């Protein structure tokens, strides 16, 4: 079976609109509970203007909202990049 991908990118505004459905809820939880931190995973697949559904000709999504194994690895790497920043914020919160 061969897949033909017409476009492997979507406009960032479309991505952000889809994300907004749940992001605001997560943000309110993180504000209500100071020890809960929200990690932005969109940086793994998005630039300022567009979000890529594939990287180096490898699809990152298998369905509209489900990452492939490769996509999961890319997002996990982005999360790990943000963990040191999150740890620093936790230390600052404890000091206050």
Confidence of residue 19 (pLDDT cuts 50, 70, 90): confident
Averaged pLDDT, 6-24: 84
Mean pLDDT of all residues in 18-30: 87
Of residues 5 and 91, more confidence is placed in: 91
- Buried-state track 22-61, b at ≥16 Cβ within 10 A, e below 16: eeeeeeeeeeeeeeeeebebeebbbeeebbbbbeeeebbb
Please state, rounded to an integer, the average pLDDT across all residues of the chain: 80
Q: What is the pTM of this model?
A: 0.62
Would you kindly state where each structural domain of the chain is located, as residue ranges? 9-95
- Tens of pLDDT along 39-68? 888 888 889 999 888 887 788 888 777 889
Q: How does strand 54-55 pair with strand 58-59?
A: antiparallel
Sign of the CA dihedral running 10, 17, 21, 35? positive
């Amino acid at each position: 079976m061969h897949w033909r991908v017409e476009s492997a990118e979507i406009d960032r505004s479309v991505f952000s609109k889809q994300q907004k459905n749940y992001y605001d809820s997560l943000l309110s939880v993180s504000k209500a509970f100071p020890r809960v931190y929200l990690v932005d995973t969109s940086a793994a697949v998005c630039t300022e203007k567009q979000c890529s559904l594939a990287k180096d000709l490898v699809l990152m999504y298998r369905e509209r909202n489900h990452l492939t194994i490769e996509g999961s690895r890319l997002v996990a790497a982005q999360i790990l990049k943000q963990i040191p920043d999150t740890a620093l914020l936790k230390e600052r919160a404890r000091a206050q």
